[in-house]
Amino acid sequence: MSQLEHWDERYRQPDQAPWDTGRPSAELERQLAKRKLAPCRAIELGCGTGTNAVWLAQQGFDVTGIDLSPTAIERAKAKATEAGVQVRFLQADVFALLDLGPAFPFFFDRGCYHVVRRVNAAGFLRTLQSITATGAEGLVLTGNAKEPHSPGPPVVTEAEIRAELGGAFEIVSLEEFRFDQDPITNTRFLGWSCWLKKKK
C-alpha cells in the first residue's frame, strides 16, 4: 500500500483519524495570540480536513493547505465553503510540491513533520526551506518522546528537533504542551510546540 493509499484509507475510516478533532488547535490559537503575528500568506502542511486552515482564513490569513489524502482535501474544501472563506486546498506530496507561488511568510504543521521525518527528514526540510520567505515564522507541533505511547502521535526528542529543524531555522521557543483531547481515545498526548524563524 502506498503512502497516499494509507492516509486516504485512514480518513475514510472515522475511527482511524483521531487527530481530526473538528476544532482548531488550541495551541495554534495560543501561539498566534502570543506572537501577535499579522495576517499574511500562510501554508499548512498536512492540513487534513482543513479545520486549522479554515480558522486561519477566518483570522484574515491567505491560506494554502496541502495534504496527501484526496478524501481529506475534499472534506477541507467543503468546510471552507460552509464557513464562507477562501482557502486554496491542494492534494499534494510534501516531497514533490508544484509551484505554489510566492514564498510564504508563515507556516503551520500539526503532525506532518513528526510523520514524514521517519521517511525523509532532509527532504522535508528542503521543501520547507524552498516554500518559505526569508525571515518566515512557523509553528510545528509534534509528539513528545518523554511520554511514549501507543496509539498516539509519533514522538520526537528535543535533541532530534534541534538537530533537524534547528539546522535551517532559529528555534525561537520550544515548549511542552498537550494536544487537544482526541475524540477516540479521549487522551491529551504530550507534545512539543516549536516556534521557528527562518535564518537569513
Q: How many CB atoms lie under 10 A from the CB of residue 102?
A: 8
* pTM of the shown model: 0.94
Q: Judge whether residue 15 has pLDDT over 70.
A: no
pLDDT at 9 over 90: no
Mean pLDDT, range 39-54, rounded to an integer? 97
pLDDT in tens, 144-195: 999 987 777 889 999 999 999 998 899 999 999 999 987 777 889 999 999 9
CA 98 from chain centre, in angstroms, equals 18
d(CA 110, CA 121): 16
Residue 23 pLDDT exceeds 70: yes
Residue 8 — pLDDT band, cuts 50, 70, 90?
confident
Q: Is 18's pLDDT higher than 90?
A: no
Domain 3-12+23-198 class in CATH: alpha beta
Residue, of 10 and 165, whose pLDDT is higher: 165
Residue 21 pLDDT level (bands cut at 50, 70, 90) = confident
- Confidence check: pLDDT of 138 > 80: yes
Cα torsion through 109, 111, 114, 116, rounded to 10: -80
Domain ranges of the chain: 3-12+23-198
pLDDT of residue 16: 65
Cell of residue 41, nine digits: 500568506
